[in-house]
Amino acid sequence: MTVYLRIIYILTGLTGVHSITTISKVSVTAGKSVSIPCLYDSRYMNYVKYLCEGYYWNYCSYVVKTNKPDGSGKYSISDDKNRKIFTVTINQLTNKNTDYWCVVEINGGSDHGESFQLSVSSGTPSLYVDHQHITGYIGENITIRCHHSNSGGMKWCRLGRNCVTGSSGSIDGTTVTIHTTEPNVFTVTMSGLKPEDSGWYWCAEGDIQIPVHLTVTEKLITTTDHVLTATLKNEQERASFDPKILIIPLSVLILIVIVVLFIWLLLRHKQSKAESSATAMAEVEVTYSEVRTKKRSSDKVDKEVTHSNVGNMRRTREGEEKGTEVTYSTLANHRSLNS
């Protein structure tokens, strides 16, 4: 019955009615979670999408819708209308959660869906990756390790696009290199990442696939990286420092010092000379003297000699009169007749 339904959907897909693409079978571990991408046609951009659980299409029941989230937390769904992909996530997997359908709800018509199957085991999955959601940086490389336990044709594909099956190839212009040197590991390297490389990819081994979502973004420089970069730059500048570049600045500085010193000495000399002149003028000593001789009408001549008005005056440097010293002295000589 399942084969019959798939043939019907393949035939309808050829006519353009069925336009949903997803993986076919995923190996998972019980108790874990898995995300499944569902690519749809652009004409279904604004339609409701949902996840339907059940083996048969006619009897499956929806568990979560884009317009009606699941309150239990077991299922979640998101719709990326820019890339035309809605993603469903199933948590706490059990061996009862095995058959699902990605569905677009068609108002007034039959819904369109595509089925996928989960192989739930208690041990290690037959095909798995270290992380289902990874981040790469523009211009750099990203490596994905796909672990497998069975033999089969290995390939790396982008959802809805081409696949790389050999040792190298390209997807949307991005170089892809594949290595199988490590036992049971299928290593994929994507080089020179671009923003448009963001999207869903998958590893495949035989009929088992595991989806991987890649986000390509600009690499942010943290504060620690910035400080380290600045420190390294300063160290490099110091290592390449040339002492010759200081010759001209030092010469100019020395010349300025010499000129300033010369001007200071010249002003100092003029100030000292002016102070010496003022001191010499302030210390001038002036002496006044008067000598008088008097004659008496008497026959006996009395001679009187008087010395007076001997003074010494000094002025301060500022020209103010500091003090006047006057000395009076009288020297008299009298000669008289004997009585």
Q: How do the pLDDT tens digits run along the chain, 339 residues long?
A: 344 444 444 444 333 345 899 999 999 999 999 999 999 999 999 999 999 999 999 999 999 999 998 988 999 999 999 999 999 999 999 988 899 999 999 988 899 999 999 999 998 999 999 999 999 999 999 999 999 987 677 899 999 999 999 889 999 999 999 998 888 899 999 999 999 999 999 999 888 999 999 999 998 876 555 556 666 666 666 655 566 677 888 888 898 999 998 898 888 888 887 777 766 665 545 455 554 555 544 444 444 444 444 444 444 444 444 444 445 554 445 444 444
Give the fold, CATH level 3, of 126-230: Immunoglobulin-like (2.60.40)
Q: Do domains 1-124 and 126-230 have the same CATH topology?
A: yes
222: which 2 tokens? 């943290």
Q: Is 244 exposed, middle or buried (0-12, 13-18, 19+ CB in 10 A)?
A: exposed
- Domain limits of the chain? 1-124, 126-230, 284-332
pLDDT at 170: 94
pLDDT at 131: 94
pLDDT at 96: 87
For residues 207 and 189, what is the distance between their CA atoms, to the nearest angstrom? 22
pLDDT at 298: 44
pLDDT at 313: 46
For residues 313 and 283, what is the distance between their CA atoms, to the nearest angstrom? 9
Question: Strand 133-137 and strand 208-217: pairing?
Answer: parallel
Looking at domain 1-124, which of 3.40.50.300, 3.30.365.10, 2.60.40.10, 1.10.600.10 is its CATH number? 2.60.40.10
Please name every residue paired with 163 in a beta bridge, in sequence order, or none if there are none: 157
pLDDT at 160: 92
Assign residue 192 a region (left: φ > 0; alpha: ψ between -120 and 50; beta: otherwise).
Answer: left
